[in-house]
Structures are given as C-alpha cells and as structure tokens.
Amino acid sequence: MDGIATLALPFFALMFLGFGAGKWLRIPDQGLAGLQVFILYFALPALFFRLISNTPIEQLGEWRFILATTSATLIVFALGFIVGMIVTRRNVAEATMQGLAASYANNGHMGPGLALAAFGPAAAVPTALVFCFDNLLMFTLAPVGVSIGKRDGAGPVRIALLVLRRVFTHPFIIATLLGVVAAVLHFRPPEPIDHLLELLSNAAAPCALFTLGIVLAKQPLKRLPVDLPILMFLKLVGHPLLTWVMLSLFGNFEPVWVYTAVLIASLPMATNVFVIAQQYGVWVNRASSAVLISTVVAVFSVTGVLALIGSGALPVDLFP
C-alpha cells in the first residue's frame, strides 16, 4: 500500500493544488485558457506522438483490444442512457448526457500520466488506443443523441460532418495518427526536435492535472442529479469491471494492456461531459456537479483499483 500511495497521491495532490489555486488565487479565465492551450495543443500531443512513434507497428493494430474496450464503454453508456430516460421521463437529450457521464472517463487529463507512472512506457499504446476510440464513440453519440432529443433539425449528413470534424481535428488524435505514420516509416525526428518533444512530454502530466484542478474549482456546485449515485457507480465501478470482463472474453492480452484499460476505465467522469453539456445547453449544472463529485470520490476508487492490481488480486484473464 505504501507503493500505491506513493504512486497515486502525488497525482491527486497536483489536482487538488490546482483546485486550491483556482478557488483562492483567483486565476483569471485568460490564464486558464493559456494553460489549456499548452496542454491540448502541445504537451499531450507531444507525449502521444513520442510514445506511439517508438512502438512496434504490429501493436497498433490490436483490433480485439479496441473492440473489447470500446464495447465496454458503449454498454456502460447504454446503461447510463436507460437510467437517464427513466429519471427524466424520456428526455433523450438529457439522457444522452447522463450516458456520457456514466461512460466517458477522464482519459485526456488523467489517463496518460497515471497509466505511464503505474505501468511504464508499455502502457502508451493501450492508453492511446482507448483514448482515440472512446473519444470517437463519444464524439458520435453526443451530437446524435442531443440532436434527436432537441429535434433541432440536424440531418444525418450534418451530424456525420460534425463528428468527422471533431475527430480528425482533435490534437490528440492527430498526434496519434502522426505517431502511427512515424512508426510505420521508422521515422525519428532530428535530435533538437526530439529533445523539444521530450521537454513537452515531461510537462504533460503535471500541467494537465494541475489545470484539471483549476477547471473543477471554477465549475459551480449547484444542482445535484438525483441519479448521481447510480451514474457514479456505473463510471467508477461498472465501467472498469465490464472492461475487465470484456477483455477476458476477447482473451489473451498482455497484463499491462489489461491493467491499463481497467485503470483508465476507473477514472472519473471527463470534464468534457461538462464542456459538451455547455455546448448544447443540456444538463449543464448537473454535469458540473457530477464531474466535480465523481473526481473527489475517484481519489479513493482509483487508489483501490491500483491496490488490487499491485497486490495481484486482479487476474489478467477471468477465463484462462
């Protein structure tokens, strides 16, 4: 447990330092925007590119892993959506946001740093694959569900173009695709550029976690969703559990791939849930409260998942 605490607590401490700074130092929105630009467009893309470009190409086409993890996320989304439909009395737009809250892990800000610290460079490829395909899924489900629920007249072509634009203009996904190309071509950047990418990569995790804390501090804690306990259970317990089961069904993955996927699935609700809610004007106050509270609870649940993995209590394969 000492080792788990040494690993997990500094990550959450960085986040809470950011939360304190956001609450008491009155950081202006312009300063926060600058940090987010650095993380979104420079630090994390550099990290993804360096790790993927140094990976053997055969590992990047592991479709069984992609199907297992993405299917788990989709099933949890469906469960959250059903809960939302019951609670909101068939409000499709709000139920879509509740499905996102139940299944969309904070795999951008928290995932890479925590997975790499826990499992080393071998966690880079599964982390990138989960990020890319889970985001592809969420960028598809959100506009489709909200458009149907709000009846805003958005046709299938418009929705498809919106999804494609969001996917293929996302800096993380662009960096991952460039990393794949570099891996195929065995391309290595010139030494000065590689050193720059290394500096940016080293800054990614601490800056992302600190900024996440500031973002959470600026989100109002107002209306609590009545179904928040169910959504948090689905996100923090159901999602990692189902991911573990699906990986066992698809079978025979390296332990680090299984543990990385389970760890990422156990992360709290993504701040993107709040961003998407704001964008569509649906479930905004409840999304803010859900993200904040799930992140606080995740301090204990994620530490518990790490403890299970570290103690060997989590078998790699349920069906050997």
What would the DSSP string read from start to end of 225-293? PTTHHHHHHIIIIIHHHHHHHHHHHH----HHHHHHHHHHHTS-B-HHHHHHHHHHTSSHHHHHHHHHH
Question: In the structure encoding, which two tokens stand for residue 134, read together?
Answer: 């889970």
Task: Give the CA radius of gyration of the chain.
Answer: 19
Taken in order 66, 68, 72, 75, the sign of the CA dihedral is positive
Q: How far apart (Å, rounded) are the C-alpha atoms in residues 136 and 275? A: 16
Q: Which residues of the chain, if any, have pLDDT below 70? A: 1-5, 150-155, 162-163, 220-223, 225
* φ/ψ of residue 5, rounded to 5: -65, -40
* φ/ψ of residue 62, rounded to 5: -80, 85
Which of these, 266, 274, 267, lies nearest to 291 by C-alpha position?
274
- DSSP for 71-96 reads HHHHHHHHHHHHHHHHHTTS-HHHHH
DSSP state of 269: B
* Confidence at residue 1, expressed as pLDDT on a 0 to 100 scale: 47
- Domain locations in the chain? 2-311
Locus of tokens 């401490």: 13
Q: Give the dihedral of Cα atoms 141, 144, 146, 148; nearest 10 deg.
A: -140
Q: pLDDT tens digits, residue range 130-189?
A: 988 888 888 888 888 887 776 655 567 777 776 677 777 878 788 888 988 998 898 999
Which residues are bridge partners to 269 per DSSP?
A: 105
Which residues are bridge partners to 105 per DSSP?
A: 269
Q: pLDDT tens digits, residue range 257-283?
A: 999 999 999 999 988 888 788 778 888
Q: How far apart (Å, rounded) are the C-alpha atoms in residues 140 and 264? A: 20
| CB distance 46 to 197 below 8 Å | yes
C-alpha distance from residue 35 to each of 11, 29, 74, 141, 213 (Å): 18, 10, 31, 28, 12
Say which CATH topology domain 2-311 has: Na+/H+ antiporter like fold (1.20.1530)
